[in-house]
Structure 1
């Protein structure tokens, strides 16, 4: 992707090699021309993107999940999230993931922004969505997906972030958004 504002920093891809195409990961190596004319290689994961949902209950609590994450070997506290399917609208993905993982559907939605969790080795982006006016329902977990759904106050979440109980990057970013939205510092554009 070119950056018109900073052309003196941009690397130009001259060739791409596919290193791995698995069920989940697609890894490539780009041969690039550096801004000073030198050459280098960049290995990274191609990722279709994902969404994360910050579900707000009417009583002020948020809906969270606990899920075992094999690469880090531990159960993580996270907001609901999931990969965007090919051709899927981002809001449709957010609605699908919230329902599948938690059983909740929402009356109103607001897109807060986007984050890039691992810019050094992946193209992944995560759309940040807030949901409110929640109605409980039945979860529809994917085959092989195991997670616990629970609720917490924003203050509890903030404390878990401070103490290191929450280390998931997307959830840390969402906690920052939540804190600023609740304080009135950051506004959201809600829609039905």
Structure 2
């Protein structure tokens, strides 16, 4: 497809905020019709989310307080990529740090862009199986509770609105399709 009639060209960029976690910019862009507009967005290095599968069919989840939501959220383990970090290595690191589990096998499912209107963030989705329990290694100031649920319980929570986190909703979609046999995964050790 030819997308030239839709593409905006960046003319200039202004930094709005550079914090420890957030980096926000304002671009001036030239629109396809030649006029100009501004676009404000968050520049994000990317992240991973892990769908950990226990041998008995349950999945490993977390409950964590999220300040912007002012509430405890149910989520799959996830975390931000460090500069230059390999995505699978990040998934392995985050799973072990947050849950204590290591995995014998991994499969890349796909990628999602959770908020395309105001962030460059992408989240790589990984499946992990052959889980071996171990100690958590939470970051300083990180507090979360690890628990397990059946895939059906997770899907019910997605349907009823108990789970609203985008990466977990998309992870549940992947999980449902993998378990039904509609989608396949390429597992690696």
Instruction: Specify if TM > 0.5.
Output: yes
SS state at 2:5 partner = helix
Aligned length: 189
User: What is the match of residue 82 of structure 2?
Assistant: 85
User: What is the match of residue 60 of structure 2?
Assistant: 63
Task: Kindly indicate whether residue 119 of structure 2 is the aligned counterpart of residue 122 of structure 1.
Answer: yes
In the TM superposition, what is the alpha-carbon distance from 1:5 to its structure 2 partner?
3.7
Separation (CA, whole Å) in 1 of partners of 2:180 and 2:105: 19
Task: Kindly indicate whether residue 155 of structure 2 is the aligned counterpart of residue 158 of structure 1.
Answer: yes
Q: 1:5–1:102: structure 2 CA closer, same or farther, 3 Å change rule?
A: farther
User: What is the match of residue 103 of structure 2?
Assistant: 106
The aligned runs of 1:1-192 (5 Å cut-off) are 5-192=2-189
> What TM-score does the superposition give when structure 1 sets the normalisation length?
0.98
Separation (CA, whole Å) in 2 of partners of 1:182 and 1:106: 19
RMSD: 0.7
Separation (CA, whole Å) in 2 of partners of 1:6 and 1:174: 30
In the TM superposition, what is the alpha-carbon distance from 1:7 to its structure 2 partner?
1.2
* Gap runs ≥5 in structure 1: none
> What TM-score does the superposition give when structure 2 sets the normalisation length?
0.99
